[in-house]
Structure 1
Amino acid sequence: MPLQRRTFLRIVTAGAGAVAFSGALWQQAAADAPARPAAAESPYGPLGAPDGNGLALPAGFTGRIVAKSLHSVGGILWHSAPDGGACFPDGDGWIYVSNSELPLIGGVSALRFTADGSVSDAYRILSGTNLNCAGGATPWHTWLSCEEIHRGRVFETDPYGEVPARSHHAMGRFKHEAAACDPDHEVVYLTEDEDDGCLYRYTPDTWGDLTAGRLEVLCSTGGDSVEWREVPDPDAPLVQTRHQVDEARHFDGGEGCHYADGVCYFTAKGDRSVWAYDTRAQTVTAVYSGGGPLDGVDNVTGSTAGDLYVAEDGGNMEINIITPDGVVAPVLRLDDQSESEITGPAFSPDGSRLYFSSQRGTSGERTGSGGITYEVTGPFRH
C-alpha cells in the first residue's frame, strides 16, 4: 500500500522529539492513537548484537559487504566517499548505482547483480565531476547525480552504462543535494544544501526529457501554506537561485528527498527535521522534528508499505523507519563508525534487499578511502 495523501495532522511524541503524522497520508494512522515508545514498537523488533561487520540488525535479517572503497569489485576499484544511490531493474537481476562525493573526480559507479544476488559486473557511468552527493532515480530508469558545490550541476546518467551522461543547466546551478521525480505532476523536486537553502521544482517542457524547462522555488504565503514562483535566472553566475525570489522559504541544510502519492518528503539537517510538501493542500509541515531516536537526518527513501527510511549523518549511525502509525525506530545500526555517515539507502526492485554505504567506514578518513557499501536482506514490509 503506497504512502497516502495528507488530510489532517496529529502530533505524537517519540522519546523527547515530536513526530507529526496525518491520518490519510499514512492510511493506517488513527487520529486518537496515544503516544507510543519508539524503539519498543519497531515493526521489526529490537536490534541484535553487531555481526562480524559491525552491523546490528533485527532478528531475521542478515547483512553483507558488497564493495569497499579502493578495493576491486566486478573488475573496477570501488570509488571513495560513496554517497547517494538507487536501484534499477536489470532483467532477472538489478543494478545499484552510487555517487562519489570526492572533489574534482567524483562521478558515479554501478554494481550489477544477478538473480541470486551475486555481483556480476561493476563500471563507471560518470567521471570527472565534483562532489557528487545525492540525487534521484527517474521513472524512465536514469539516475540524476547532483553536485554539492557552488554552481553545482545535475547530471543525468545511464545506470546500464550505454548512454553518455549529460548535464542539465536548466535545473539550476546551485549546491545541489537530492532529486525526487513526481510522475503525477511531471515535475522534479530538488533540495539545496545551504544553511538558507530552498526546495525547488523543475517542470521540463517534455516529461522524460529534462533538457529544457522551468525552475521554481517554494515560497511561503502564511503559516504552513506555500506556493511556487519561477526563478528568474537558474543559470545566473552572480546571484544565487535561493536569493532571486524574496518570498522563498528557506531550510537549514537540505538533504534527502523522496516522492510518494502526492507528497514530497525532504530532510534538513540543520532543522533536524523530515518535512512533507503536500501537493494537494499546498502546505509544508514537519513529519518528524529531532530529539527522538533519529538524529542527523540525511538521505531518505520509502517503501510500498508506506514506510520512510531515513539515514543518519552522524548521530549513532542508524537507519530509522518512520511508519504510518507513528513509530520512529532504528532498523539497523553500524557500530564503531562514529566518524562516518550513512548514505545512499535504496531497495532492490522486489523490496527484499536494502543497499546503503558508510561513507568513511571504520577509519573515519575524510577522503572517504575507507568507504563501505552494504546489503541487508530480510522480511522488509512491502
Structure 2
Amino acid sequence: MDRRTVLRATVAGGAAFAGSLWAGAALAAPAQPGPGPYGDLLAADANGIQLPAGFTSRVIARAGQVVPGTGYLWHFAPDGGACFPAGDGWIYVSNSEIPLVGGASAVRFRADGSIAAAYRILGGTNVNCAGGATPWGTWLSCEEVPLGRVFETWPDGSRSAEERTRMGRFTHEAAACDPDRRVVYLTEDEGDGCFYRFVPDTWGDLRTGRLQVLCAPADVTSGPVTWRDIPDRDGFPIPTRWQVGAARHFDGGEGCWYDRGTCWFTTKGDNRVWAYDAVNQRIDLAYDDSLVPVGTAPLTGVDNITGTPGGDLYVAEDGGNMEICVITPTGVVAPFLRILNQGGSEITGPAFFPDGTRLYFSSQRGTSGERTGSGGLTYEVRGPFRR
C-alpha cells in the first residue's frame, strides 16, 4: 500500500485537521484544491509572471547586477527573506545560498516604493538558506549545512551580525518566533530532520537558552506531542536529530511561520504543510499532496511559507510548476502566481510588506537554472491582497 492510500485511510479513520488552528474555521481534513480567492491566473506579464486580475509585478534586483538606484551588486542565489518597517519606508532582507560567502543583503525602500539603498548585512557564512524575523526587528539567517549556525542580523545595517550558537548546530532551514510562549521554532533540512524550539533564558536575547526537539511516535500525522531538551546542542559527534530517541523525524524541513498560536512548517520530501498547535501541543496536517485526487495537486515542491493577518498562507514551490500557492482559512489551496520559463529554478523568500499590500520573493536561479544562482531574480508583486 503506497503513502497516498495509507494517508487517505488515516484521515478517514479520524486523523482530521484541527479546525481550531484557523480562527473561526471548522475544517474536517487537510486543504483541497478549489477556486482561489483572486480568480484565475491571467496571461504572463512582461516579467514572465502569471497573476490574477488587479496584480502587477516588477523586478527589484538581479543576481550579479547593480540594484537599480544604488551602487550595490545583488548577491547570487537569493533565498529566504523578510520585510521590516524602516522610518517612513521599509526594508526587504534576502539570504544568499552560496557556499562559504553566503550571507545576506538588504534593499531599503522609500515611502513611495522607490529604492533608496542596498547593502550587505552578513558575509562570510555558508549556504544561508532561510531564516526568520524576530519581534524586536532583527533577521535570523540560517546556514543549511551540517553543523550550520544561526546568525542574528540587523536589517538597517546599524550593527554587525552576531552568531547564536546556543540555537543549535545542525542543517538549519527556517525560524519562526512565538512571542506568546517566548520560543523560536526551527526546521531542519534533512531527510530525517527534526522540528526544534529554542527557549531563551530571556525573551529578546538569543545568546543563552535551551534547545528542545518535538517528540511523538514515528509517522504520526495528527495528535499530541511533547518537547525534550537536546543534550548537546553543538551536534558533534552525534547530530542533534539523533540524540533523543523519542524525537519525531520529518522528511526535509523547510519553511516556518507562526501566527496566533499555530506554527506552520513545511516538509519538501513528502509535500506537506504541518500545523503545530502551540496552545494544545499537537500536530496536524494542513496540506498533503497525497490526500489530493491524483493529478490535481496544485501545490508540489513545498518549500518556503509566509502568511497574512487574515489567515491566508502563501507557500512557494521548489520546482513544481514554479508557483506560489495560497491556502485559505477555509481549507482551499490554489495557485496565486506562476513564473514561466524558469523550470530549473525555485521560488524563495516570500514575505509581505508590513501593510500587506506588497509581496516580495525571488527565483533563485532564474531562467539560467545555474546552481550558482547567477541568474537569480528578486521580485515585488502589488495588488489587492486580502488582509
Q: Would you call these one fold, judging by a TM-score over 0.5? A: yes
RMSD: 1.8
Mapped partners of 2:204, 2:23: distance in 1: 30
User: 3-state DSSP class of the match of 1:276?
Assistant: strand
CA contact (8 A) 1:274 1:286 kept: yes
Equivalence map 1:217-256=2 (5 Å)? 217-220=213-216, 223=220, 224-256=223-255
Letter in 1 for 2:194: C
Letter in 2 for 1:269: K
Mapped partners of 1:321, 1:38: distance in 2: 10
The structure-2 alpha-carbon separation of the partners of 1:301 and 1:323, relative to structure 1 and needing over 3 Å to count, comes to: same
CA contact (8 A) 1:21 1:324 kept: no
1:361 is aligned to 2:366:
yes
Give the deviation of 1:285 after TM superposition: 1.1
1:42 is aligned to 2:47:
no
Mapped partners of 1:122, 1:257: distance in 2: 26
Mapped partners of 1:350, 1:158: distance in 2: 21
CA contact (8 A) 1:137 1:181 kept: yes
State the partner residue of 1:202: 198
Q: 1:147-176 deviations in whole A, cap 9, x for unaligned?
A: 000100000000010111011111000000
Letter in 1 for 2:170: F
Mapped partners of 2:125, 2:331: distance in 1: 40
State the partner residue of 2:335: 330
User: 3-state DSSP class of the match of 2:21?
Assistant: coil
The structure-2 alpha-carbon separation of the partners of 1:204 and 1:166, relative to structure 1 and needing over 3 Å to count, comes to: same
Mapped partners of 1:157, 1:350: distance in 2: 22
CA contact (8 A) 1:20 1:288 kept: no
Gaps of 5+ in 2: 1-6, 9-14
Equivalence map 1:12-51=2 (5 Å)? 21-30=17-26, 38-39=33-34, 41-51=35-45
Q: Which has the higher strand share?
A: 1
1:95 is aligned to 2:100:
no
1:321 is aligned to 2:326:
yes
Q: 1:175-221 deviations in whole A, cap 9, x for unaligned?
A: 00000000000000000000000000100011000000000000015
Picking from 169, 178, 182, the partner of 1:182 is 178
Letter in 2 for 1:167: E
Gaps of 5+ in 1: 1-10, 13-18
Mapped partners of 1:80, 1:48: distance in 2: 30
Letter in 2 for 1:248: A
Q: 1:345-376 deviations in whole A, cap 9, x for unaligned?
A: 00001100000000000110110000000000
Mapped partners of 2:84, 2:48: distance in 1: 27
CA contact (8 A) 2:176 2:185 kept: yes
1:258 is aligned to 2:257:
yes
Q: 1:239-263 deviations in whole A, cap 9, x for unaligned?
A: 0000000000000000000011111
The structure-2 alpha-carbon separation of the partners of 1:106 and 1:36, relative to structure 1 and needing over 3 Å to count, comes to: closer
Mapped partners of 1:31, 1:246: distance in 2: 33
CA contact (8 A) 2:31 2:286 kept: no
Mapped partners of 2:150, 2:159: distance in 1: 16
Give the deviation of 1:87 after TM superposition: 0.2
Letter in 1 for 2:146: H
Give the deviation of 1:61 after TM superposition: 0.3
Q: Provide TM-score, normalisation by structure 1.
A: 0.92
Q: 1:88-120 deviations in whole A, cap 9, x for unaligned?
A: 001111000000000001000000000111011
Mapped partners of 1:66, 1:313: distance in 2: 20
The structure-2 alpha-carbon separation of the partners of 1:352 and 1:327, relative to structure 1 and needing over 3 Å to count, comes to: same
Q: Report the identity percentage.
A: 66
Letter in 2 for 1:258: W
Picking from 81, 85, 106, the partner of 1:85 is 81
Kindly tell me the number of residue pairs found equivalent between the two proteins: 364
79-88 or 227-236, which deviates more: 227-236
State the partner residue of 1:285: 284
Give the deviation of 1:58 after TM superposition: 0.1
CA contact (8 A) 1:216 1:231 kept: yes
State the partner residue of 1:371: 376
Mapped partners of 1:197, 1:37: distance in 2: 26
Q: 1:64-89 deviations in whole A, cap 9, x for unaligned?
A: 00000001012210000000000000
Picking from 282, 296, 317, the partner of 1:312 is 317
User: 3-state DSSP class of the match of 1:72?
Assistant: coil
The structure-2 alpha-carbon separation of the partners of 1:242 and 1:120, relative to structure 1 and needing over 3 Å to count, comes to: same
Give the deviation of 1:30 after TM superposition: 4.0
Give the deviation of 1:282 after TM superposition: 1.4
User: 3-state DSSP class of the match of 1:24?
Assistant: helix
Moved over 6 A (4+): none
139-148 or 22-31, which deviates more: 22-31
Mapped partners of 1:257, 1:85: distance in 2: 12
Mapped partners of 1:57, 1:129: distance in 2: 35
Letter in 2 for 1:302: G
Equivalence map 1:117-136=2 (5 Å)? 117-136=113-132
Q: Provide TM-score, normalisation by structure 2.
A: 0.91
Letter in 2 for 1:316: N
Mapped partners of 2:141, 2:320: distance in 1: 25
CA contact (8 A) 1:22 1:29 kept: no
State the partner residue of 2:212: 216
Give the deviation of 1:237 after TM superposition: 2.1
